[in-house]
Amino acid sequence: MAITVDIRDEQGGLVQREYEGSFELAAALSDLDDAEYPMLRFVDPYGTTYFSSLQMIGVIPELERLAKASPRPTLDKVLQMARRVRAKPHTFLVFVGD
């Protein structure tokens, strides 16, 4: 199982894609406790999950906590992407499972 991460605009156009570490990201997200990660628990490992720029207020702290608990270069890249989405309205952080 692998999960890639995209930044997409409001028309669904691709702004950025992160393939590197897709298996590592899937492993990190598969072990999340529902109570500790109320946003990231909704990432579907077999589907597509969209988070808006407004939702980054909840997603970013969870990614920071996850990156601190399990340091991985992939999580750092996804965190940078999340911050980019937060700073630009009408964009989405998209987790794409296989």
pLDDT in tens, 17-38: 987 788 888 888 887 877 889 9
Percent of the residues in the chain that have a pLDDT greater than 90, as a whole number: 68
Domain residues for 47? 3-97
Q: Taking a C-beta distance cutoff of 8 angstroms, is the pair 43, 95 a contact?
A: yes
Among the listed residues 87, 82, 44, 30, the one whose alpha carbon sits nearest the alpha carbon of residue 61: 82
Supply the pLDDT for residue 4. 92
Percent of the residues in the chain that have a pLDDT greater than 70, as a whole number: 100
Cα-to-chain-centroid distance, residue 92 = 10
The total number of structural domains in the chain stands at 1
With a cut of 80, say whether residue 47 has pLDDT above it.
yes
Count CA atoms within 13 Å of residue 59 on its CB side.
26
Its pTM stands at 0.92
For residue 35, the tally of other CB atoms under 10 A from its CB is 7
